Amino acid sequence: MKHQITANRLLAAAAAMLLVLLAAPASAQDWHQMHVSYDGWSWAFPYRIEQMSYFDFDDTNTTMQAHRADDESIIVPFAVDESAKTTQYDAVLDSMTFSSTLTEWGKDKYRCFAIYVNTDDGEDITSKEEYTRCFVSVDGMGQYPDLAIAGKIRGRGNSTWKWYDKKPYRIKFDESSKVLGIDKNKDWVLLANYRDVTKMMNTYCFLAAKMMGLPFTTPIRYAELFVNGEYRGIYQVAEQVEQGGNRVDISKQGGILLAIDLDDGPDLSPDADDNFWSEVYELPICVKFPKDQTAEQIDSIKYELEPLEEAIQAHDYAALDTLMDIPSYIAMIQLQEFVYNVEMSAPRSVFMFRDAGGKWTMGPAWDWDAAFDFDWSDMYTGHTYFADYTETILGTDPYNQNGDYKCPKFFTDMFCNATFMAQYKAQWDSVKDSLYTTPWAGCQKYIDGLNAFQKRADGTSTSPWTREQERWPISGFTPAKEIKKMQKWLQNRLNYMNQLVANYPDSVLVIDTDDIEVVGTVTQNTTMSYSSGYSQSEKINVDKTAVARLLGVSASKLSSTNVSLVPLNSDGSEGENTAAGTYGAWFDGDGDTVNYYGDSHVFIESDDLWTWSCGCHPYNCDEGDEHTVTMQYRYTDGTTVKAVNVEVNFTIEW
């Protein structure tokens, strides 16, 4: 039984139809569903119900209302026209159809669905701290049950919220509910993926993470979003990274979920009370679970993390194996390096958890739009990826980090251990043949879903991707062209990484600083202009022959295979490489290595052992300042290590 009612005769026909339907006997197997159409868009709304008596008019007989089958006291109003609207949630309809048979669910997760958000009073979503009350309807398009539910919405993200017009959102329902077949929860994420024209970067990495065994990876759905009737484009529906039986399934008693994240950590979120610097590696840690911890409890979690850091710093495989799920640790590093996700260097968006009495485990995998060789030179407006598949985070020697970025040694200190390296290579060999093909096959199904034409009520047919490009036009970029680039980049990247991993050193000689013989010092002087900002034209050129003479070898014997260059702290201890180059660091006013975000004054950075760029922090330096910092060349012949210190005297002028 099916009836259709057009808007101009909705009231009279609806009343007559209801009388007919209410007079008809309803068996326990009968279902009825309201399908509505508005402005060319069609969706089923709000719930499948067992008796048509759940539909009636309000007290004024001007607004149709549907009573929810699970709770008759909860109603969803539908206005006939604009003048009849009584609340912001009222939907003005072009047509309404009632069907008395239950649609079979197709469960095609690769389609692009639709999500409608109406906020209280029609206000826009302008804050990522304060929620706005809203009503949400999700159109399952016959593939999954539809959903209509009250809740609240706010912005989310860091750079994506700050820089881009297409905003990402976080939704919290009043009640736990399934969304498009994904397990029940209150918390959901709508990823805008504005920077990523392909819309496939997160999807590829989520699929790869799941294939590689990283736990609790979010399912993937796409939906077009409408906010207060305005089309906002294609969004990716994802689970919020959080503790829960349907999310990161760790115990409420003793479970811990951490984010290694610069934005949420104590440096960039100093007023938060849920973060700390880790004891050994000074990682920026945010405690995602448990919630609402006291300072003492935060200190306790910091204490519990410390043995893991100590095992990694000591390169102790046996100790690490008792504390960490090593396959997840390896898989996370491999995936980050494979897609060249430079967020690992910051670090940002790296999650790890531990259940009560269990091992630390890396995951879930998250946030991949800084990967795939993103062009950071136009980061505020850019969509440029895939230029170079040979750039790396870890380089050819991950222990010594001779790649294009530096990351916390928490991720690299085990690369000197022979047992760890054997497992690392074996684990790579187990996934390399399918690391491109399997996730990409899944991506192609989502691509087809976004390309599929959907017929509208006005008779026109367009694809979600066409509507996205109309809403968010990006000059010079099209999904089809960028997807081809991404596909080619992944194929080339896999071939390159296969060679790179195979040639990683099976073990690395770990230099004990107590055994290093310092055989001499070279002095360099340079003048910086703090008014010129970070970038300076001055270069430091170290005399390779002079260093070789102090080491007692010929200059021709010095190369990156037997010479390393490290920054030193003022007390002579080895500092952290915190600069952007392969060699170098930011230094504070005392000559100790610091992060750029700390009390940084001057820096040295270079990818070349002998020619260094240098500069100063214009806000931390003043005219007349003088700083002395030290870099150290270390040369090994395989049995002994000799070193030459290079003292650099900085003078700051206007």
**DSSP result, 293-356:** --HHHHHHHHHHHHHHHHHHHTT-HHHHHHHB-HHHHHHHHHHHHHTT-GGGGTT-SEEEEE-T
User: pTM higher than 0.85 for the full model?
Assistant: no
Q: Position 236: which residue type?
A: Q
Query: CA-CA distance, 236 to 577, in Å (whole number)?
Result: 37
**Token pair for 80:** 């006939």
Q: Are 609 and 560 in contact (CB under 8 A)?
A: yes
The pLDDT tens digits for 317-339 are: 999 999 999 999 999 999 999 99
Quick one: pLDDT at residue 58? Answer: 52
Arithmetic mean of pLDDT, 151-179? 91
Q: Which helix (H) or strand (E) holds 628?
A: strand 626-636
Q: Which helix (H) or strand (E) holds 425?
A: helix 418-431
Higher pLDDT, residue 171 or 606 = 171
Q: Does the pLDDT value for residue 18 go beyond 70?
A: no
Q: Which tokens sit at 223?
A: 């939906």
| Run of H or E including 454 | strand 454-455
Helix, strand, coil share of the chain (percent; to 5) = 25, 30, 45
> Do residues 384 and 378 lie in contact, with contact meaning Cβ atoms separated by under 8 Å?
yes
For residue 49, what is the DSSP state?
A: B
- pLDDT for res 80: 44
CATH 1.10.150 fits 513-653, yes or no: no
The pLDDT value recorded for residue 166 is 94
pLDDT for the residue 160: 79
- Give CA torsion, residues 573, 579, 584, 590, to 10 deg: -50
Residue 506 binned pLDDT confidence (cut-offs 50, 70, 90)? very high
CATH 2.60.40 domain range(s) in the chain: 513-653
pLDDT at residue 648 is higher than 80: yes
Least confident of 87-101, 324-338, 624-638: 87-101
> Phi and psi at residue 65, in whole multiples of 5°?
-140, 145
pLDDT in tens, 278-291: 999 999 999 999 99
Average pLDDT, the chain: 84
Q: What pLDDT score was predicted for residue 595?
A: 82
Is the pLDDT reported for residue 3 higher than 70?
no
The average pLDDT across 90-115 equals 65
Kindly indicate the confidence band of residue 22, based on its pLDDT and cuts at 50, 70 and 90: very low
